[in-house]
């Protein structure tokens, strides 16, 4: 009997997307691990409050035995005891035993007031976190981006409809640390800006202007992350300090808007060159990788 084979072109297309997906998943895990490392360094070197005692476990799947012992520290003599680990969805999960009601505790990127008792705080790769205390839950966001604010409103609405049997935590206060003055928290933003910029320029110089299409990466980052920190405050903080300049909030927003407009023009120029250049499969994969990358860094 004759069995009709699938066209080779279709198989190559499937393999092509599988390779891109695999690379993006690797980058996603590296991004989670980078944020975990940044949080750990921030808390190990210079916590704002020295009262909590921090214990760092690492990757949750490899430390289930240690995580299971957290509930035995209820009668700790410390005012607060914080256990930290990370998993495949959260760069940091804080299991906190707190004795002083609504005391502020340093959780890396944020200072959070927590009720007395046991609380679990899970950070997201994007600027948001999830709080669980007894039978109450809450989703908080400190996103300063258009897409980020919409995403967390969507998650909050979904949480309220799916967890009808649980109450909502109220009167939770938090303070976001300034990235510019932090030694470690600004590292992700520096990598988000400079590393793709260098790589895209390298590919464009080495293989043609069509690779400028990958600058759509920065346009997407503009809407997903805090564009002020992403494009001006963090990457050019060293220059402002060197020149002894202080620029206001309006100037920062204007500079970020101009910069992303330049990136957009470069990306459109790359698309225009696409029609005049025959791009290889690897070249298409590189461009597609950069276009999809922002979503794997944020979610």
For the stretch 240-261, pLDDT in tens is: 888 888 888 899 999 999 999 9
Query: Of 155, 176, 197, which closes a domain?
Result: 176
Residues 153 and 245 in one domain: no
pLDDT, average across residues 269-298: 89
Q: What is residue 104's predicted lDDT score, i.e. its pLDDT?
A: 86
Q: What is residue 4's predicted lDDT score, i.e. its pLDDT?
A: 55
Residues 170 and 213 in one domain: no
**E strands present in 13-161:** 53-59, 80-86, 92-98, 103-106, 110-114, 117-123, 128-133, 136-141
Residue 117 maps to a domain = yes
Q: What is residue 165's predicted lDDT score, i.e. its pLDDT?
A: 54
Residues 119 and 200 in one domain: no
Residue 238 maps to a domain = yes
Asked if residue 200 lies in contact with residue 286, where contact means CB atoms within 8 angstroms, the answer is no
Q: Per-residue pLDDT for 56 more than 90?
A: yes
Write out the two tokens for 116.
């007395």
Residues 143 and 259 in one domain: no
Residues 103 and 154 in one domain: yes
Strands ordered across the beta sheet of 110-114:
103-106, 110-114, 174-176
Residues 106 and 222 in one domain: no
The 3-state DSSP class for residue 165 equals coil
Q: Which residue has the higher pLDDT, 162 or 30?
A: 30
Sorting pLDDT into bands at 50, 70 and 90, what band is 189?
very high
What's phi and psi for 295, nearest 5 deg? -70, -35
User: Which residues contact residue 21 at a Cβ distance below 8 angstroms, ignoring those fewer than 6 apart?
Assistant: none
Q: CA-CA distance, 213 to 289, in Å (whole number)?
A: 11
Query: Of 176, 211, 238, which closes a domain?
Result: 176
What does pLDDT average to over the chain? 87
Q: What is residue 107's predicted lDDT score, i.e. its pLDDT?
A: 92
Sorting pLDDT into bands at 50, 70 and 90, what band is 51?
low
Residues 210 and 234 in one domain: yes
Residue 5 maps to a domain = no
pLDDT, average across residues 20-42: 96
Residue 67 maps to a domain = yes
Residues 237 and 169 in one domain: no
Q: CA-CA distance, 76 to 101, in Å (whole number)?
A: 16
Q: CA-CA distance, 26 to 30, in Å (whole number)?
A: 6
How are beta strands 110-114 and 103-106 bridged, if at all? antiparallel
Q: What is the pLDDT of residues 131-169, one digit of tens each?
A: 998 888 888 888 878 888 888 888 877 777 765 555 677
Residue 6 maps to a domain = no
Q: Which residue has the higher pLDDT, 147 or 49?
A: 147
Residue 140 maps to a domain = yes
Residue 137 maps to a domain = yes
The 3-state DSSP class for residue 262 equals helix
Contacts within 8 Å (CB) and 24+ apart, 44-49: 45/183, 45/184, 46/183, 47/106, 48/106, 48/111, 49/104, 49/105, 49/106, 49/111
Residues 111 and 219 in one domain: no
Q: What is residue 278's predicted lDDT score, i.e. its pLDDT?
A: 75
Residues 166 and 242 in one domain: no
Residue 191 maps to a domain = yes
Expressed as residue numbers, the domain containing 199 is 186-298
pLDDT, average across residues 94-111: 88
Residues 239 and 207 in one domain: yes
Residues 149 and 115 in one domain: yes
What's phi and psi for 54, nearest 5 deg? -100, 140
Q: What is the domain count for the chain?
A: 2
Query: Of 144, 176, 208, which closes a domain?
Result: 176
């Amino acid at each position: 009997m004759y069995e009709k084979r699938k066209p080779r072109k279709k198989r190559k297309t499937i393999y092509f997307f599988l390779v891109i997906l695999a690379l993006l998943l690797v980058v996603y895990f590296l991004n989670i691990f980078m944020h975990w490392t940044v949080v750990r360094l921030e808390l190990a070197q210079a916590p704002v409050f020295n009262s909590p005692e921090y214990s760092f476990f690492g990757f949750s799947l490899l430390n289930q035995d240690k995580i299971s012992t957290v509930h035995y520290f209820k009668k700790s003599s410390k005012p607060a005891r914080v256990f930290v680990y990370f998993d495949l969805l959260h760069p940091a999960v804080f299991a906190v035993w707190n004795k002083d009601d609504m005391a502020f505790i340093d959780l890396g990127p944020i200072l959070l007031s927590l009720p007395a008792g046991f609380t679990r705080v899970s950070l997201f790769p994007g600027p948001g976190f999830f709080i669980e205390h007894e039978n109450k839950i809450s989703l908080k966001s400190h996103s300063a981006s258009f897409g980020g604010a919409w995403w967390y409103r969507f998650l909050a609405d979904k949480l309220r409809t799916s967890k009808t049997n649980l109450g909502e935590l109220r009167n939770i206060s938090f303070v976001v640390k300034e990235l510019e003055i932090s030694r470690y928290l600004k590292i992700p933003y520096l990598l988000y800006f400079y590393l793709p910029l260098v790589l895209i320029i390298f590919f464009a110089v080495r293989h043609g202007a069509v690779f400028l299409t990958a600058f759509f990466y920065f346009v997407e980052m503009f809407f997903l992350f805090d564009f002020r920190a992403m494009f001006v405050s963090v990457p050019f903080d060293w220059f402002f300090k060197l020149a002894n300049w202080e620029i206001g909030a309006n100037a920062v927003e204007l500079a970020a808007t101009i910069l992303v407009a330049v990136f957009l023009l470069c990306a459109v120029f790359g698309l225009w060159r696409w029609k005049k250049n025959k791009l290889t499969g690897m070249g298409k994969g590189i461009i597609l990788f950069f276009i999809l990358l922002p979503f794997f860094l944020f979610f």
